[in-house]
Structure 1
Amino acid sequence: MGTVLKVADNSGAKTVTCIHPARGKKVARLGDTIIASVKELHQKKGERILSANNTGDHNVKAYKVKKGEIVKAVVVRTAMPFSRRDGSVIKIDENAVALLNKHQDYRITKKRNLHKGRRAGRPIGKRVFGPVPYELRKKWMLAVLTLAEDTA
C-alpha cells in the first residue's frame, strides 16, 4: 500500500514505498517480506549518484540499487507495538526495512537439511543500522540479525 519506509541498511537507498506484501498477505508485520519501489537514494554533499554499472568521475558514488527499481525487502522495525511472550511490549518510532536480493535462498532447518527458502534471500547491504528485534530469528532471517549493529 503506498507506505513509505526507511531503509535500514547501507545499500544506497534512503526510502522505499511498499507495493504489496509478499505471499498474498494484506498487511506486513515484523519479519515479513514485501515488494517495494526505491523512491530516494542517499546523496553526500558534492557527489553525484550513478548506478553500479555506470563509469565516470572519481568523485561519483555508485550504489547497488537505482531509483525506481523494484526490490524485495524484509521488515525489520515497525511503529506498531508488538508483545513478547514474557509480557513486555516493544514499540519503535519508525517503519524500516532491509533490502534483499532477488534470488531464492537456501536455509538450514533444525534437522540440518537444506530446503529452499520461501522468501528472497540475502541482504544487499553489508550493515544494518538501528535496533533489530530478536523475533526475526523465528522468521529465518539470521543473515539480517548477523549484520545488525543492535539486537533488541
Structure 2
Amino acid sequence: MIQQQSILGVSDNSGAKTVKCIKVLGGFNKKVAKLGDIIVVSIQKLRNKSKHLSKVKKGEIYKALIIRTKTKHKNKNGILVNFQSNDVSLINKSGKPIPTRILGPIPKIFKVKKFLKFANISSGFI
C-alpha cells in the first residue's frame, strides 16, 4: 500500500534512483495505491553513474506506475506474490514509459492491453 509521502525505488533505466509519492490518482477520496495503480511522484535522488546522461532531473514531477509492492498480491491461479521493495516505473504525460527497459521481474497482471508496453520492456514475469 502506497500513500502520500512514501519513498519508492525506481527500477528502470530512466536515471532516477528514488522518488516520493505526491498524489494517488484514480478517485476523489483515494488514499492508498496498489499494484498497477498510477501515482504522481517527485524525483528525490539520481543514480550516480548517469547524472549527466539522465533522462530526468532532480525535483521534476512525473507520473509513475507501481510495479512492485511489499504487500501480498494474489494471482488468478491462487499464488500469493510479494516483493522485497516498493518500486515504480516512470511514465510521461501521454502514458508511455520513459525508460527503455525495466530491471527485474514484474507481475503477470501487466500483460493486459493497457500496460503491454511495460510488459515488453521488462526482463521477466512472476
TM-score when normalising by structure 1: 0.75
Question: What pairs with 1:118-129 in structure 2 (closer than 5 Å)?
Answer: 121-129=95-103
Between 67-76 and 129-138, report the one with greater CA deviation: 129-138
Contact 1:20/1:35, CA 8 A, preserved across alignment: yes
On the 8 A contact 1:4/1:18 being kept in 2, the answer is: yes
Q: Is the 8 A contact 1:30 1:136 kept in 2?
A: no
2:98 aligned counterpart, secondary structure: coil
Pairwise CA RMSD: 1.4
Describe the SS at the equivalent of 1:143.
Answer: helix
* 5+ residue gaps, structure 1: 50-60, 104-120
Secondary structure at 1:130's aligned position in 2?
Answer: coil
Unaligned runs of 5+ in 2: none
Point out 4+ residue stretches in structure 1 off by more than 6 angstroms: none
Q: Which has the larger radius of gyration?
A: 1
Number of residue pairs aligned between Structure 1 and Structure 2: 121
TM-score normalised to structure 2 length:
0.90
In 2, Cα distance between equivalents of 1:140 and 1:134? 13
Once the two structures are superposed, residues 53-86 of structure 1 have per-residue CA deviations (whole angstroms, 9 ceiling, x without a partner) of xxxxxxxx32111101010000000100011222
Q: What is the CA-CA distance between 1:139 and the residue it aligns to?
A: 6.9
Aligned to 1:7: 10
Quick one: structure 1 residues 139 and 32, their matched pair in 2 at CA, closer, same or farther if it must change by over 3 Å? farther
Asked if 1:136 is matched to 2:113, the reply is no
What amino acid does structure 2 have at the position aligned with 1:39?
A: Q
CA distance in 1, matches of 2:112, 2:70: 20
- Structure 1 match to 2:92: 101
What letter is aligned with 1:18?
C
Aligned twin of 1:41:
46
Partner of 2:123, secondary structure, is strand
- Residue 87 of structure 1: aligned partner: 78
Identity over aligned pairs, percent:
41
